[in-house]
């Protein structure tokens, strides 16, 4: 991991987890009709940016954002399939594979 503290990577993962949770709660809120979920979405999204802000003290913004976004895309696609019966078309799977490849490339850059 070269000179990147493990805590920085953990913070990026926490930011991504909050982002994915916010995505799921947005889906469950039914277009923000459920006000409590709408407020919860805002809270976890603020937490996501807070974790990201802490992470970029120790890791390049480009790497942190790529990892955050990539993990979020992959996790949201999987959760969408498992819990919301969304399609996982072969092209989506290919996109996830490309995203994973990008994450590996970004990891090699740090």
100 within domain boundaries: yes
The pLDDT value given to residue 31: 93
80 Cβ contact partners less than 8 Å away, ≥ 6 residues apart = 27, 86
1 within domain boundaries: no
How many degrees, rounded to 5, is the angle at CA 102 between CA 25 and CA 63?
A: 75
pLDDT band at 8 (very low <50, low <70, confident <90, very high): very high
Question: Which whole number is the average pLDDT over 7-14?
Answer: 94
Asked if the model's pLDDT at residue 58 lies above 70, the reply is yes
- Confirm if 36 and 79 have CB atoms less than 8 A apart: no
38 within domain boundaries: yes
pLDDT digits (tens, 9 = 90+) for 34-54: 999 999 999 999 999 999 999
* 84: containing domain: 6-109
In this structure, the number of other CB atoms found within 10 A of the CB of residue 73 comes to 21
23 within domain boundaries: yes
| Count: domains in the chain | 1
108 Cβ contact partners less than 8 Å away, ≥ 6 residues apart = none
Question: Which whole number is the average pLDDT over 49-75?
Answer: 92
83 within domain boundaries: yes
In DSSP notation, 77-103 reads HHHHHHHH-----HHHHHHHHHHHHHH
């Amino acid at each position: 991991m070269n000179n990147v503290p493990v805590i920085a990577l953990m913070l990026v993962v926490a930011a991504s987890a909050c982002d994915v949770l916010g995505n799921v709660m947005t889906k469950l809120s039914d277009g923000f009709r459920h006000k409590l979920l709408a407020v919860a979405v805002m809270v976890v999204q603020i937490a996501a940016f807070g974790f990201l802000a802490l992470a970029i003290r120790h890791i390049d913004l480009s790497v942190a954002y790529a990892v955050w976004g990539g993990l979020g895309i992959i996790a949201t696609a999987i959760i969408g399939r498992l819990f919301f019966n969304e399609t996982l078309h072969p092209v989506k799977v290919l996109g996830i594979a490309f995203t994973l490849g990008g994450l590996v490339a970004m990891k090699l850059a740090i």
